[in-house]
Amino acid sequence: MSQLFQLQCPQCRRYFGNGPLTICEECFSPLEMSYDLSSIGRLIDRATIESRPQNIWRYAELLPVAAEHRSGLPVGFTPLLAAPTLARRLGVDGLYLKNDSVCFPTLSFKDRVVAVALAQARAFGFEVVGCASTGNLANSVAAQAARLGLEAWIFVPSDLEPAKLLATAVYGAHLVRVDGTYDQVNRLCAEIAETRRWGLVNVNLRNYYAEGSKTVAYEIAEQLGWRLPDNVVVPMAGGAQITRIAKGFSELVELGLVPQSPVRIFGAQAAGCSPITTAAQQGVLEIVPQQPATICHSLAIGNPADGYRALQVIAASDGFAEDATDDEIIRGIRMLAETEGVFGETAAGVTVAAAGKLIRDGRIKRGETTVLCITGNGLKTTDALVADLPFEPALAPKLAAFEASLDRLAVPA
């Protein structure tokens, strides 16, 4: 390979260089990003990485961006928090939260994937960028496009949370609400990418976008002191994140940056949209698309682009997948907030609820190190909690009124 990374067909092994391509024209397989890891291994070691600023660009050699790429955006390197109180509540130990609910700049893990995709959008000469989104991607593309001076067109299902719509429009992006499901929005975007010279981050730039997720794996390993966890629990929508986290761990082993050790990869979905979890639980590698009906809009993809690969990494790692009903999602959000002071969005509720089931069933055990991926911020999905956390009536500003209401107010919602 003449460059450190390029697109390759996993089927016929043909190389395609770099560009906004997704499918092998010979055998119609989805292309994959491949790296010249032996050359990369000569460029980086632990000390080099540790000497760099704490953001995703410290792993630049392992990302599909030009060596000279310099981003002004300090994306990623979010906290890895020990979660002893949540662990005790769930009946396990060794639990950590990878807290992407505070990722810069838009408070979700999507900031990682967008940073990588937009770096290449510019390199490929796109002046207009966009995406099909379930919410968080919309926020991140809009924000980062504004920063880079790119025009942004964002397509979303019309039923998204108001906070996610507002937090897209505020950046001056063109926000197109589509009367349909995410899968219909995505199909529309695929057609748009064929007719216009637009860089749609999760459509024609998808191979670059998806690779940004590997940085979650790199950071987890580095923050654990350059070792791999025993288990990760990852919320799944299209399945890009879970597959690239697995890829990231493998690359670190191959480069000798961490000792080899098995990582079980666990997936989590909402019960109201669980095409990947359903197949994983049936032990099959075939996805049957679903019509989403869940409060967890961020994970509501009925026909996941990386679903097949997600099933493969879950099976190959001896992992599993679990789902969570709307009630379990709400309880998961509240448990995470009450035990560890982290307010995650509905996807976090899914992850916590799924982890509870994996622990209950003995798939995650005491004495193991387990990382829960908290991928988005609860302030964007407060609608899901409004009915569950009603306000008390306002009090007269009198001590007597306070004393008279004390018993009632002392009971938590």
Ligand X SMILES: *Cc1c(COP(=O)(O)O)cnc(C)c1O
Q: Which residues bind ligand X (CB under 6 A)?
A: 108, 110, 136, 235-241, 298-299, 345, 347, 375-376
22 near Zn ion, rule: CB under 5 A: no
298 interacts with, out of ligand X, Zn ion, none, CB within 5 to 8 A per kind: ligand X
401 near Zn ion, rule: CB under 5 A: no
Q: Which residues contact 215 (CB under 8 A, 6 or more apart)?
A: 56, 59, 63, 76, 112, 248
24 interacts with, out of Zn ion, ligand X, none, CB within 5 to 8 A per kind: Zn ion
The two structure tokens encoding residue 22: 């997704």
In the chain, the amino acid numbered 167 is A
Q: Facing residues of 374 across strands?
A: 99
Distance CA 405, CA 356 (A): 36
CB 64 to Zn ion: min, Å: 19
Distance CA 64, CA 167 (A): 28
CB 24 to Zn ion: min, Å: 3
Residue with smaller CB distance to ligand X, 257 or 347: 347
376 interacts with, out of Zn ion, ligand X, none, CB within 5 to 8 A per kind: ligand X
CB 261 to ligand X: min, Å: 24
Cα 209 to Cα 48, 118, 241: the distances in Å are: 25, 8, 10
Q: Of the candidates 410, 388, 295, 390, which has an alpha carbon nearest to the alpha carbon of residue 334?
A: 388
9 interacts with, out of Zn ion, ligand X, none, CB within 5 to 8 A per kind: Zn ion
375 interacts with, out of ligand X, Zn ion, none, CB within 5 to 8 A per kind: ligand X
81 interacts with, out of Zn ion, ligand X, none, CB within 5 to 8 A per kind: none
The values of phi and psi at residue 286, to 5°, are: -115, 130
9 near Zn ion, rule: CB under 5 A: yes
8 Å CB contact between 165 and 188: no
24 near Zn ion, rule: CB under 5 A: yes
246 near Zn ion, rule: CB under 5 A: no
The two structure tokens encoding residue 36: 């010249």
Distance CA 244, CA 231 (A): 15
338 near Zn ion, rule: CB under 5 A: no
DSSP 320: E
CB 251 to Zn ion: min, Å: 22
Residue with smaller CB distance to ligand X, 164 or 357: 164
The two structure tokens encoding residue 30: 């989805």
CB 373 to ligand X: min, Å: 8
Give the footprint of Zn ion on this chain (CB under 5 A).
9, 11-12, 24, 26-27
